[in-house]
Chains A and B, each alone.
Chain A
Amino acid sequence: MLTNGKSGKDELNDETLNRFSDELLRASEAGEAEISTAAASPFLYRRIRVRIEAEERRIAQQRGAWLSLLAGVKHAIPALLAFAVVAVASLMLTPSLSQQWPAAGVGNEEPPTLLLDVLSFSQDELIASAAGVEAGQPGNGGGTK
């Protein structure tokens, strides 16, 4: 059966090996009895049902976690809305207050608020005044005479 030529030998070898391959594949096959036995294995369906139910429980728990999160968000909605209303209202009020300050300052050389008064002192004067209070001397607006 063997030929002298290399290609002829390879071809024959491949042919033989292909036949071996087919035999090997057939050898790996299970018999009908084995196939039926595995299919009719006791409690196989019950095991499937148990796993399906476990998976369904897991899915339900996941869904439950999402639902509780959504419920939390749902409860938070009124609070968020109230917060938003307060924020909007304060935004609307803030410009009207700021508009009052320039109006009060028109034609008036005195600072309109106490805060502006305090800010008119220099930093050194403020420190000296605070040191004087601690030493028991009455503050004189930063003067040292």
Chain B
Amino acid sequence: MGEVETPAGTNDDMSAETTPEMTDDELVAAARAGDESAFSRLFERHRRLVSRLGYRFFPRRDQVEEIIQESFIKAYFALDDYHGGGEKSFVSWLARIAVRTCYDELRRARRRGESSIGDLSEDEAAYLHERLRDLSASGNVEGAAISRDLANKLLSRLRPDDRMVLALLKLEELSIAEISNLTGWTTAKVKMRSHRAQRGLRQLLRKLL
């Protein structure tokens, strides 16, 4: 992990108290007992997962870094609530925190009125329109280069919960039950939001095309 930042002042502690072979649950127990290096090990192991989830909903690096920070801070203060036991339980637990952090931030951004469809200039809308038409005509999905920024602007027009479900369903390829577990919503609610999100996106595209 050459590119990985080593938290300052934790190297010596890490060699003394934690080892790379320790499981997540063991690291959580050590972190609870006040071992700072154990938490830094958890951060190193799982920060990429949180970064990936952050990029599902936010296009900018500073936004994703904020999501990573918020998620790990929440995780730190919620360590006592973590029960563990399963092989992937810490990953699931952390993913839940990260998804909820993303959802909260999406809602905040929407309240602030950031990145609405109104932000798309006529040129941008025309560009997106052409790109989508190209996709339709050629069917060459991989060759098409739709601007990520424009796509995000369009997607931000969706309600935060709809966008959340859509991204988890289509990009993370999670099942309804898994989304339900991540978000804390019932499966019926997830299904309903999934239908509503897809319908909403079709309406947006219909307007654009």
Contact with B along A28-47 (1 / 0, CB 8 A): 11100011111111111111
The interface size bin for chain B is 35 or more
Interface of chain B: mostly helix, strand, loop or mixed:
helix
A interface residues, tally (CB under 8 Å): 36
Closest 10 pairs (CB-CB, A-B): A30-B55, A27-B146, A39-B51, A27-B151, A45-B7, A17-B202, A28-B151, A39-B48, A39-B47, A21-B201
CB pairs A–B below 8 angstroms (9 shown)? A13-B206, A20-B136, A20-B209, A24-B132, A25-B151, A27-B151, A36-B3, A44-B5, A45-B7
Count of A-B contacts judged by CB separation below 8 Å: 121
Give the contacting residue for B171; candidates A29, A48, A49, A55; CB below 8 A: A29
Binding site for A on B (CB under 8 A): 3-5, 7-8, 36, 40, 43-44, 47-48, 50-52, 54-56, 59, 61, 64-65, 68-69, 72-73, 76-77, 132, 135-136, 141, 144, 146-148, 151-152, 154-155, 166-167, 170-171, 198, 201-202, 205-206, 209
The reply to whether B72 and A41 form a contact with Cβ atoms under 8 Å apart is: no
**Known interface pairs A21-B198, A48-B69; A27-B7 also in contact (CB < 8 Å):** no
Q: Give complex CA distance A44, B72 in Å.
A: 11
A46–B7 CA distance with the chains assembled, in angstroms: 6
A55 — which chain B residues lie within 8 A by C-beta? 73, 77
- Set of chain B residues within 8 Å of A19, measured between Cβ atoms: 135-136
